[in-house]
Amino acid sequence: MALSLNFFSWYYKDRLKGFFAVWKNFLWFGLNYFSAPFLLRTLFSPWRKYRFRYGNVFNVWENLETLVFNVMSRVIGAVIRIGAIAAGSLLELLIFFLGVILIALWILLPILIIILVVLGIGLLI
């Protein structure tokens, strides 16, 4: 009897704590892999730091070209960063919901095994 109590103590106390630690590490990995905080801080930075310097004040056409290029570089950077943030968010949601499902299964599995053994014995009798 003491062995089964030790098993349930280990299963529901120790291993569940370990499971939460692993789940937290997976969530932390997803956040850092896509570097969402950094991408949010640099959302409107130019893409790959591509930008032109403005020329002479009197050369209006060249300055207009530079302005258009710099704005487009920032728009492209924002679109790509938003895509990376969206992909990271989807991964985080997937990890979160998989963790919830696995924890629910982990908690219910011993009970399910006992129920299935009792039902199996009932079918044999």
Exposure of 64 by Cβ count < 10 A (0-12 exposed, 13-18 middle, 19+ buried)? exposed
Determine the pLDDT at residue 89: 94
Tell me if 34 sits within 8 A of 87, measured CB to CB. Answer: yes
Q: Tell me: pLDDT of 52 over 70.
A: no
> Residues 4-50: pLDDT tens digits?
788 888 888 889 999 999 999 999 999 899 888 899 888 888 877 76
Q: Where are the alpha helices (H) located in 1-125, listed in sequence order?
A: 2-9, 15-33, 36-41, 60-124
Mean pLDDT of the chain: 88
Please give the model's pTM, rounded to 2 decimal places: 0.74
